[in-house]
Amino acid sequence: MENKRIKVLISAYACEPHKGSEPGVGWNWAKQIARFAEVWVITRANNKQVIEAELKDHPEPNLHFIYVDLPKWLTFWKKKQRGVHLYYLLWQCAAYIRAKNLTEKVKFDLAHHITFVNDWTPTFLSFLDMPLIWGPIGSNRPIPKKFLPDMRNYLKDKLKHNIRQIMRKIIPFYKRTLKNSRRIILISKSQLGFAPFNSIQRNKLIFQSANAVDVFERNHKCTKEKNQDSFMIFSAGTLIPIKGFHLSLQAIADQINKKKEVTFLIAGEGSLKYYLKSLAESLNIGDKVDFAGNLKRSEVLKLMNESDVFLFPSFEGGGMVVLEAMAASLPVVCLDYGGPGEMVTDECGIKVKPLNPDQTIKDLSDALLKLANDSELRKKMGEAGKRRVEEFYTWEKKGEFIKQVYEEVLGYRL
């Protein structure tokens, strides 16, 4: 059977156009799937305004949205991110009821859970009588104690990891999701080693990052000439322990002793903001570090194009911002760990193995100094990074990937 336009039911709790992180993943995966399938997306009702505005300006005839939320009297306790994961579990119950009703009207070929991108809560789509794709999913590995700024942050990280491990064991229907999924898409190979993925059929597991960049981002050009007498290091992300900004500052301090014209710009807010500012002052680099706060996406992309290097010693499993930096032709300095460690190759950046803090800080500093003293190497790595994004990490490539997965599951070409 050739060129059949299949019907796909998607669960995307987070789904918003022109956003990064989870909302961008939900929107862009659904949009790519709609290139070759008719798609119904169940998402939160509070996403409706931005989605409908986008569809009015840029119609997507193969995308249909079903908006679901819980009654306010049942969720008075939820405040922004507080209680979000409990809310998400309850929301899935409501989403399943709507999905079940929808299957009585539409004959779907398969179901696909996209967001949340986490591997420790099940998808209730596993109760539907149709082939199921689960993913992209993943979770952050525990951060080694020696790389955290203090005991308090270590205990918080340890608690989060233990809760996830417990949730995998005690949440009803988790094993059902594992069993009923025809394919499980993990965001990186670093996810292997976590329970329960060692014990399930390996032919179910495939690997694909959740994130990508679009045509606009990878073709964005900087109109401002860079100051050849300075060396600007840029970083972006939430100011939390997993991002490794405390390591960045110590590496910058070491480098500034060798190259005085260095500046370091950080875009983002978070719980460690005041700790990091205090650390910068104690390292005598307060005048060299600019905490820019939360910036619009367009501003972040502009700063990337005005910078010389993107520094990102994060321990996370994802790393959308790394792809954006590569798309902007920025060489990347990161850890050889998790998602960034797989995205970045030796051709487009310098990866540092995090063996211990002193070694890691020194290697990060040496990597920055090497790039600071070699503009041709920066240019070469930047160009290689952009090529790698265009070859593997565009949303169009995501669409080709998931189409192939669907074909394998269904047994015919689309």
pLDDT (average), residues 110-123: 93
The pLDDT assigned to 73 comes to 74
The pLDDT assigned to 76 comes to 66
Q: Which amino acid is at 322?
A: V
The pLDDT assigned to 1 comes to 44
Q: Give the pLDDT confidence of 339-375 residue by residue, as tens digits.
A: 899 999 999 999 999 999 999 999 999 999 999 989 9
pLDDT at 282 over 90: yes
pLDDT at 264 over 90: yes
pLDDT at 222 over 50: no
pLDDT at 211 over 60: yes
Which string of b and e fits 135-149 if b means at least 16 CB within 10 Å? bbbbbbbbbeeebbb
Q: Which residue has the higher pLDDT, 218 or 110?
A: 110
Please, which residues have CB within 8 angstroms of residue 317's CB and are 6 or more apart in sequence? 138, 139, 140, 141, 187, 188, 190, 191, 338, 339
Q: Give the pLDDT confidence of 229-257 residue by residue, as tens digits.
A: 679 999 999 999 999 999 999 999 987 76
The pLDDT assigned to 353 comes to 95
End-to-end Cα, the chain, rounded Å? 8
pLDDT (average), residues 194-215: 78
pLDDT band at 224 (very low <50, low <70, confident <90, very high): very low
pLDDT band at 169 (very low <50, low <70, confident <90, very high): confident
CB-CB contact of 8 with 33 (8 Å): yes
The pLDDT assigned to 134 comes to 96
pLDDT band at 414 (very low <50, low <70, confident <90, very high): confident
pLDDT (average), residues 320-329: 92
The pLDDT assigned to 81 comes to 67
CB-CB contact of 96 with 124 (8 Å): yes
pLDDT band at 219 (very low <50, low <70, confident <90, very high): very low
Distances (CA, A) of 228 to 99, 232, 374: 57, 10, 12
Token pair listed for 354: 């995090």
The pLDDT assigned to 201 comes to 67
pLDDT band at 216 (very low <50, low <70, confident <90, very high): low
pLDDT at 223 over 50: no
Query: SS3 for 41?
Result: strand
The pLDDT assigned to 227 comes to 52
The pLDDT assigned to 259 comes to 66
The pLDDT assigned to 248 comes to 95
DSSP for 120-165? SS--GGGGSSS-EEEEEE--PPPPPGGGSSSHHHHHHHHHHHHHHH
pLDDT band at 151 (very low <50, low <70, confident <90, very high): confident
Token pair listed for 126: 């596993």
User: How many residues in total does the chain contain?
Assistant: 414
The pLDDT assigned to 198 comes to 61
pLDDT at 12 over 80: yes
Distance of alpha carbon 173 from alpha carbon 117, whole angstroms: 17
SS3 labels along 235-274: EECCCCHHHCHHHHHHHHHHHHCCCCCEEEEEEECCCCHH
pLDDT band at 192 (very low <50, low <70, confident <90, very high): confident
Q: Give the pLDDT confidence of 35-75 residue by residue, as tens digits.
A: 999 999 999 999 999 999 999 999 999 999 999 998 877 77
CB-CB contact of 313 with 338 (8 Å): no
Strands 6-12 vs 37-44: parallel, antiparallel or unpaired: parallel
Query: SS3 for 206?
Result: strand
Residue found under tokens 């996810």: 191
CB-CB contact of 290 with 264 (8 Å): yes
User: Which domains are assigned to the chain?
Assistant: 6-212+394-410 (3.40.50.2000), 216-392 (3.40.50.2000)
Q: Which residue has the higher pLDDT, 29 or 296?
A: 29
CB-CB contact of 153 with 203 (8 Å): no
The pLDDT assigned to 229 comes to 62
Distance of alpha carbon 62 from alpha carbon 310, whole angstroms: 38
